[in-house]
A and B are shown apart, each in its own frame.
Chain A
Amino acid sequence: MILGRDTLRRAYGIARARLLFRGCTLGHRVWALGDVRVRREGAITLGNQVFFLEGPIASELICHRGAHVRVGDQTGFNYGVSIEAHDSVEIGSRCLIASMVRITDRGARRTAPVRIEDDVWIGHGAILEPGVTIGKGAVVSAGSVVTTDVPAGRLALGNPARMLPLETVTTSRERA
């Protein structure tokens, strides 16, 4: 069969993304199989092949007046992700944002831009505080609360998150 089930789903996802993100600047083949609630008062830019997976809980993408949200190519979001920008939230290319992650640039005390560089992986339920920068290739462990910058290629783990070498997680996993 030329048109497989996956191809059809992908086509449906692309059409759905066009509808959900109308008025946003979209790259080519952005797809959304999951539900995304978009509030666009500022500028939302999604790169090529950005995707939103399907899940039991809807994601939300809120960009207030005068703010911007920028997402790089091939970055993927699982379900229940909540992104809210009052100033600036920037996410790099090829990032993986797991389910129920919360990213916002406004907290109780301050508003400061959040920047996530390329190839970052953020685990389930992690929370990023305003003003943090996650360096290239870093991993934020599930459930972490990130209050300070994460250097490139490090593992942020805990509440509040502490920095560990990436190898910590690899060795424990291979042992298991």
Chain B
Amino acid sequence: MGALSNWLSRRDVRRRATLGRDVVLRGTIWMRGEGRVSLGDGVVIDGSLAPIELHAHEGAEIVVGDGARIDGGTSIESRQRVHLGARVRVGAFCKILDNHYHRPQGDHRREVPRSSPVDVEDDVTLGARVVLLPGAQVGRGSVVSPGTVVTRRVPAFSHVVGFPASVRGMS
């Protein structure tokens, strides 16, 4: 039952996403929404530890660059655009969102606010449990330590630690 549903979930990804050459899919990959998902050449999506969610709402897109690797338990939700560059490594149980889905004020909670695209440039490493909130832009070659929450622009080749995130030297 488990192996079959895993296989079915991966078949769903192979049918609905735009795939490059030599894409490796493992474990369970939950694909939801009517949006566009494109995976570059040699992308590895390894959902064997825990299921991975790729959720592109209608009209939205998730673009994963060549040679990127996504580990188990990670969830990517896009209402506009989430872009991961080439050779990006995404650790286990990361969450990447381009919309907050709710407004902070109690009386407007059910309104969905505007999206701000998330952009992770080439050669970035995201540790486990990193959260990228709407508007996060991680510059080329940066390293984001495990558990960090990023909401804004991180300069290229920096090492980001903690929450609130701060830059600790260069990667």
Q: Are A121 and B104 in contact (CB under 8 A)?
A: yes
- B129 is an interface residue with CB less than 8 A from chain A: yes
Interface string of B134-171 (1 = CB under 8 A from A): 11000000000001110110000000001110000000
Known: A141-B149, A159-B162. A56 touches B30 (CB 8 A): yes
Chain B residues whose C-beta falls within 8 Å of the C-beta of A172 in the assembled complex: 135, 151-152
Query: In the complex the two chains form, what is the Cα distance from A159 to B163 in whole Å?
Result: 6
Interface string of B42-79 (1 = CB under 8 A from A): 00000000111100000000000000000001010000
- A27 is an interface residue with CB less than 8 A from chain B: no
User: Interface-forming stretch among A42-50, A64-72, A93-101?
Assistant: A93-101
Q: Are A143 and B93 in contact (CB under 8 A)?
A: no
Q: Are A124 and B95 in contact (CB under 8 A)?
A: yes
Chain B residues whose C-beta falls within 8 Å of the C-beta of A143 in the assembled complex: 129, 131, 147-149, 163
Interface centre among B30, B97, B105, B135 (most CB of A within 10 A): B105
Interface string of B93-129 (1 = CB under 8 A from A): 1010100101111100100011010000000000001
Partner pick for A56 among B50, B102, B104, B113, CB 8 A cutoff: B50
B23-52 contacts to A, CB under 8 A, are 28, 30, 50-52
How many chain B residues touch A (CB < 8 A): the figure is: 34
Interface string of A139-176 (1 = CB under 8 A from B): 10111100000000001011100000010011011001
From DSSP, what is the main secondary structure of chain B's interface residues?
loop
- A87 is an interface residue with CB less than 8 A from chain B: no
Q: Are B50 and A137 in contact (CB under 8 A)?
A: no
Query: In the complex the two chains form, what is the Cα distance from A59 to B53 in whole Å?
Result: 15
Query: In the complex the two chains form, what is the Cα distance from A137 to B95 in whole Å?
Result: 24
Query: In the complex the two chains form, what is the Cα distance from A25 to B147 in whole Å?
Result: 36
Nearest chain B CB to A72 CB, angstrom units: 14
Partner pick for B53 among A55, A119, A121, A125, CB 8 A cutoff: A55
Interface string of A13-30 (1 = CB under 8 A from B): 000000000000000000
Closest B residue to A144 by beta carbon equals: B163
Q: Are B129 and A125 in contact (CB under 8 A)?
A: yes
Task: Please give 15 more A-B residue pairs, beta carbons under 8 A apart, in addition to A96-B102, A143-B129.
Answer: A57-B50, A57-B73, A94-B109, A100-B95, A119-B106, A121-B102, A136-B106, A137-B106, A139-B104, A142-B133, A143-B148, A166-B105, A169-B104, A170-B103, A176-B114
Question: B residues bordering A, Cβ < 8 Å?
Answer: 28, 30, 50-53, 73, 75, 93, 95, 97, 100, 102-106, 109, 113-114, 116, 129, 131, 133-135, 147-149, 151-152, 162-164
